[in-house]
Amino acid sequence: MHLDHDPASPAGETIGFDAFLKVDIRIGTILSAEPYPEARKPAYKLLIDFGPGIGRKKSSAQITENYELHDLPGRQVAAVVNFPPRQIGKFLSEVLTLGFADEGGAVILFAPDRTVPNGSRLF
């Protein structure tokens, strides 16, 4: 499946609401961020707290162009928490951290505009 990051691209194919509900998108707070120099594309290793129901999960995120490591801890982010873990080099990424492409194609993290409880689900 190819994801088109062009803002002028048309909407994807129509899906039913039940399909949307299968994707579990939650809010978590980044606890730590580390460099990941072994990654093929520049990335950071994140540890994210999704609250007591889901716990702490790891994510590899290609966000190095717009974010410095020291700015990430304490920041809330949205992530898909029910995809299977994915091996990214030697790192096992457990959740997919979500973002949008900026004008240059670099990732801008997706997050609520106000603080919400960790583990809150998108609906």
Residue ranges per structural domain of the chain: 17-109
- Dig out the tokens for 123 from the structure: 């609906």
Kindly report whether the global pTM for this prediction surpasses the value 0.85: yes
17-109 to CATH, choices 1.20.1260.10, 3.40.50.800, 1.10.1060.10, 2.40.50.140: 2.40.50.140
The 10 Å CB-count burial string (b at 16+, else e) for 71-80 is: ebeeebbbbe
Reply yes or no on whether the pLDDT at 24 is more than 90: yes
Q: What is the pLDDT of residue 4?
A: 62
CA distance 64 to 50: 22
Pair 82, 62: CB distance under 8 Å: no
Q: What is the mean pLDDT of residues 73-102?
A: 96
Reply yes or no on whether the pLDDT at 32 is more than 60: yes
* C-alpha count within 13 angstroms, C-beta hemisphere, residue 120: 14
Q: What is the pLDDT of residue 63?
A: 97
